[in-house]
Chain A
Amino acid sequence: MSATDLVAILPMLVLTMAAVAATVLAAFRTSHAFNAALAVSAFALALFSLVPASNAAPRAVTALISVDAYSLLFTGLLLGAAIAVTLFSYGYNEGREGGLAEFYIVLLIATLGAIVLAVSAHVATFFLGLEILGVSLYVLIASDLGERANEASIKYLILAGIASSFLVFGMALVYTELGTMEFSEMARRTGESGAGPLLLAGLAMITVAAGFKLAAAPFHMWAPDVYEGAPAPVGAFLAAVSKGAVAALLLRFFLQTGSLALHPLFIVFGAVAVASMFTGNILALFQTSIKRTLAYSSIAHVGYLLIAFLAGGRAGMVAAGYYLAAYFVSIIGAFGAVTLLSGKDRELDLLDDYRGLAWQRPWLAGAFAAMLLSLAGMPLTAGFLGKFFVAAAGVREALWFFVIAFAINSAIAVYYYLRIITVLFSPSYGEAPGPLPRLPLAGTVALGALTLLLVFLGVYPGPLLALLEEAASAFL
């Protein structure tokens, strides 16, 4: 491994060293502010180290890791999301017992796992990244010492354990048939020999595991419970970073191996996309909990995203990337708004708790409404352009059935997002719930920045599109 190789994987090295350093420093009873600052600066440093890494790219660091424009872009997105989550967590955790060093250490490791997924070019890194992320998530979900978080963690870890075993068994079957674990080599050999039954069975098992991690229907059962039980910032992490990393890997896997050209797999993913859209949107209509609504909404968003996957090609990749970026900003922002209003001894989750919020906290309610409008896909927000590119990619490949399902679902979704916004801006009745606590500074800054980013991506897509085009040329 040469020095250039080390530079290319610098973001991961930074996070690893930060996690080790934080573990050592935790012995000195560090304060909460210090731990959070350490995590944020590690993420920022890793983000900055993308510059030297991009000078070394494109580069295959052993057969396991591929550092190219694509993986660098997604690494950047994941790190940005991790910074936002850390800022929100700081206010949320403030006042809890202890320095909470472990929370931030595990957050660093979980993000490391997500990045390993984004740069993965090999079955081994796929598995390792997914497990590093998954095992860290068990801890993060249970980090709130309450009963619900504990139960959510148990639920997640048992189902994630089953999903992991499906994943590795599927990988073993694929390896048995193809005799290679590199994505690019797998593509070549599939093209030569065609798909045998073992390969299809293996891919089906990998699909089950990926569907679970993406919370795509019919593997979505855990998502509402876990999102609701987990602390709000961890919910944001689950919905954005965990899902985004798996989506980034899956997109690379499909584009590089061309396995969606296999007819059975295309049908399976098409069915998953449609099922996710309808399940997510229809069940979201009946929720009274904000976190559950967001969970169902994120299930539906996976369905939209999969349409871009199915479209494939350059347009599909760019659409999926833009959609993911827009989704990251909006879902973290929406969970962030919930986080800002929750804290040590309360979790503001029921829809009724938000009644008339706009009259007490106009800016916060405005930012929350902007995030929801973006999730619904209103013009001038990032979500609109994301949806637009996905629909355009679908039309280009003449996937009419999926485009129509997409349009129907976007219409259904508007209803429940607008319902939350109506509640936010309706006059509050009954006695006032008492003065709201002061908003934590770090989280407020993060929410403000996300709102600005939301509008920026919504009216000025040029810079991100240029980056995505460059990323697409990495392997298309």
Chain B
Amino acid sequence: MATVPAEYALALAAVLFALGLTGVLVRRNMIYVLMSIEVMLNAAGLAFIAAGYRWAEPDGQVMFVFILTLAAAEVSVALAVIFRFFHRTGTLDLDKVGSLKG
């Protein structure tokens, strides 16, 4: 079976990370921003898998499982907080988080 070099996977992870970061910076809707953060986290997970593959160790995959778990925890709490904000203001626009300065 032909193998894919670890560098390719790493490059893909870097592209995904950059895409996620662009999403965070460009989008104003909280749900999209949250999704973009998820993309960044998963890009990091992919990078870990590539690194584990390079060293032929299971550690990278273990880290990936940790990242998945914590991303899920993070999103569930974040959605609860955002839901309360939506309930109060009826908007998901990040720019409306305004009563606090800068």
Contact = CB atoms under 8 A, between A and B. Distances in A.
Contacts of B41: 161, 164-165, 168
Given A154-B82, A175-B51, A162 B40 contact: yes
A176 B100 contact: no
A186 B83 CA distance: 42
Nearest to B33: A158
A161 B88 contact: no
Interface in B33-69: 33-34, 37, 40-41, 43-45, 47-48, 50-52, 54-55, 57, 59-60, 62-63, 66-67
A172 B13 contact: yes
Contacts, number: 131
Interface string A155-171: 10110011011101101
A124 interface: yes
Interface in A137-184: 138-139, 142, 147-148, 150-155, 157-158, 161-162, 164-166, 168-169, 171-173, 175-176, 179, 181
A135 B74 contact: yes
Contacts of A157: 74, 77-78, 81
Contacts of B98: 151
A255 B56 CA distance: 29
B37 A165 contact: yes
Contacts of A169: 13, 17, 40, 43-44, 47
Report the contact-size class of chain B (Cβ under 8 Å from the partner): 35 or more
Contacts of A168: 41, 44-45, 48, 63, 67
Nearest to A122: B59
A225 B85 contact: no
A142 B102 contact: no
A168 B59 CA distance: 14
Contact of B37 (A158, A176, A181): A158
Interface string A167-207: 01101110110010100000000000000000000000000
A226 B67 CA distance: 25
Give me the 7 closest cross-chain CB pairs, A-B, nearest first.
Answer: A172-B47, A165-B40, A168-B44, A176-B51, A161-B37, A169-B44, A225-B100
Interface of B: 6, 10, 13, 17, 20-21, 24, 30, 33-34, 37, 40-41, 43-45, 47-48, 50-52, 54-55, 57, 59-60, 62-63, 66-67, 70, 73-74, 77-78, 81-82, 84-85, 88, 94, 97-102
